[in-house]
Amino acid sequence: MQTTEKLAALRELMTQHNLDAYIIPSTDPHNSEYMADTFKEVLWLSGFKGEAGTIVVTATAALLWTDSRYYLQADKELNGTTIQLMRESDIDTPSIQEWLCSNLKAGMRVGVNPLMYTARSYSELSRQLSGSDLELASADLISPLWTNRPQQPMTQAYEYSAQYAGETTADKLLRTRQQMTQNKADIMLVSALDEIAWLLNIRALDVDFNPVLISYLIVGQQQCTLFVCHQKIDEPTRRYLTDNGVQIAEYNDIFTSLNNLPAGTAVMFDPAQLNRALQEAIPQTCKQIEAASPVKLMKSLKNEREIEGERKAMQKDGVALTRFFKWLEQEAFANGQTPTECDLMDKLHSFRAQMDNFVVESFGTIAGYNGNGAIVHYEATPADCAVVRPEGMLLLDSGGQYLDGTTDITRTVWLGGNIPQQAKLDYTYVLKGHIALATIRWPKGTRGNQLDALAKQYMWQAGITYGHGTGHGVGHFLCCHEGPQNVRTDMNPTQLQVGQICSDEPGIYRTGKWGIRTENLVVVQPVDKTDAATTDDNFLCWETLTLCFYDTQLIEMSLMSKDEIDWINNYHKKVYQTLKPLLNTDEAAWLENKCKAL
């Protein structure tokens, strides 16, 4: 079926279920950012491939809400459908709830699939709709229509050794149960895939780019039950889990298990993670304890083994990127080749794949040439990608999943020709903000949103800004995006703590011209007590982990301070000295030139 036919069939089902509107979010039963194909209902209905988007369908309208990262992409992918783009980052765009309350009449019913809504978001939506006398109802209307729906992935789970994790499963479970005891909980439900993977020290590849296993977990005070398709657990993994007190049950059996809980059982769960359908499966005779998942915060605080692993992964990434940019400049362009954006993605993957402990990319590489770089989450495909020539701008955002850790880096480079002055100004505004965030010291108790303006201050002065977050949390051989910490405008009560890894990635995007983003990963550390500037125990700082040169030909030197130039020179010195032993003579000489002092 085409999109128009799918919408017609959906509207017919809505009529049968007495629903006046139906909402389809870009999420899955585990509230994941990246999903297995079997859960991509927005993509199936609309053709929109962005990770963040929500569709609302009524009898006469179909609308898709998404943020500024996906405006250009959505314009292209929704073309030819009857689905209207709602630019949710624009100040005059109503929220989904506001639109529904304005366009539906009192007494009308709005349907959602409770598997695709968290307990908290379902309750909040119900509350907002009830204020306009609208009723929220649970109904799965996509499954009956999506007859060729992909099956759940069946990748094999495996133990992730404490050699890399830095902590045993037994110790993690002990800490988790201590938190359960403080909350007077008998059991805790865990549905976030990265939390399950971290807690049990297991990995799989059920989701593109994320080494996680589609599953649920019930943690008891003595034993755990992992709900997962049995075919994914081979005998060595089963023995490992059994040795750690983990039983195995079928994925969908969690509903029966919850239904059969004894009266009075105190069930702890994170309402921002657990889906509404599982909450509804808890008997009314049980006590529900809603609390933020203790696993999320524990997972974000990287131990020394994890941080050292991240440093090793960054060295490997730095080598791969050095070889890639050298190949592009001295082989591809020097020999008259004109690779496509997809060719660049494949070539970079090949260099990463040569590194020890490389498993998979940490997200789909963004290789945006000239105007394509202005599409924040651009995705080149073989059928729709640009030819890259030795002129203009290239934005390259990529990362790798190594057993040692997870990487995420963006570099913007000039490929040749006369550099427009505006491009140099834009690049320098971004770089100055990037450095300002990387070098800030802050007192304990500071939140990421309090630091966000540091990265934007120079472009704000020039009347420019960007719509995406400045920094996201990063997992350790887990999801490239993780919480609870971040650096962005939105209020986040999470305080930045030692061991948390974030990205530092301001950007400027000019439609049809170029996109410029500079990104390193940084980890929170105590301020060095030998640093005369700050010796207070209450202050923290960032340690920059990423190792890759900046394109200094794009810097407008008249805008740079001495401290900023010194920081770049010291950073480039570290990049060169760290990577040189891992490169051959020609590669080292090429990198030395890229890292020469300003």
pLDDT tens column, 242-271? 999 999 999 999 999 999 999 999 999 999
pLDDT at position 80: 87
Domain 3-138, CATH homologous superfamily name and number:
Creatinase/prolidase N-terminal domain (3.40.350.10)
Checking if the pLDDT of 324 tops 90, the result is yes
Identify the CA nearest to 338 among candidates 410, 394, 412.
394
Using the predicted structure, report yes or no on whether residue 197 has a pLDDT greater than 80.
yes
Token readout for 233 is 């657990």
What pLDDT is recorded for position 311? 98
**pLDDT by residue (tens digit) across 409-421?**
999 999 999 999 9
Q: Residue ranges per domain, the chain? A: 3-138, 158-299, 304-589
271 phi and psi, to 5 degrees? Answer: -65, -15
Query: How large is the average pLDDT for residues 201-224?
Result: 96
3-state class of 112 per DSSP?
Answer: strand
Class of domain 158-299: alpha beta
pLDDT the model gives residue 533:
60
pLDDT attached to residue 226: 98
The pLDDT tens digits for 448-490 are 999 999 999 999 999 999 989 999 999 999 999 999 999 999 9
pLDDT at 379: 86
β-bridge pairing 501-504 and 520-526: antiparallel
In this chain, the answer to whether the domains covering 3-138 and 304-589 adopt an identical fold is: no
Q: Within the chain, how many helices (H) and strands (E) appear?
A: 18, 28
Burial 485-519 (b: 16+ CB within 10 A, else e): bbbbeeebebbbeeebbbbbbbbbbbeebbbbbbb
pTM: 0.93
Backbone phi, psi, residue 471, to 5°: -150, 135
The answer to whether residue 24 scores a pLDDT higher than 90 is yes
Please give the torsion angle defined by the CA atoms of residues 237, 238, 241 and 245, in that order, rounded to the nearest 10 degrees. -170
Residue 340 has pLDDT above 70, yes or no: yes
For the stretch 495-508, pLDDT in tens is 999 999 999 999 99
- pLDDT value of position 501: 98
How confident is residue 536, by pLDDT bands cut at 50, 70 and 90? low
Question: Residue 352: helix, strand or coil by DSSP?
Answer: helix
Separation between Cα atoms, residue 230 and residue 47, nearest integer Å? 32
Residues 168-181 have pLDDT tens digits of 999 999 999 999 99
Q: For the domain 304-589, what is the CATH code?
A: 3.90.230.10
Task: Name the band, by pLDDT with cuts 50, 70 and 90, for residue 534.
Answer: low
- Determine the Cα–Cα distance for residues 189 and 281; give it in Å rounded to an integer: 12
Q: What is the mean pLDDT of the chain?
A: 96
**pLDDT at residue 532 greater than cutoff 60:** no
With 0-12 / 13-18 / 19 or more C-beta atoms within 10 angstroms meaning exposed / middle / buried, residue 578 is: middle
3-state secondary structure 386-398: CECCCCEEEEEEE
pLDDT score, position 180: 97
The predicted structure's pLDDT at residue 34: 87
Per-residue pLDDT, averaged over 381-397, amounts to 95
**What integer pLDDT is reported at residue 531 of this predicted model?**
59
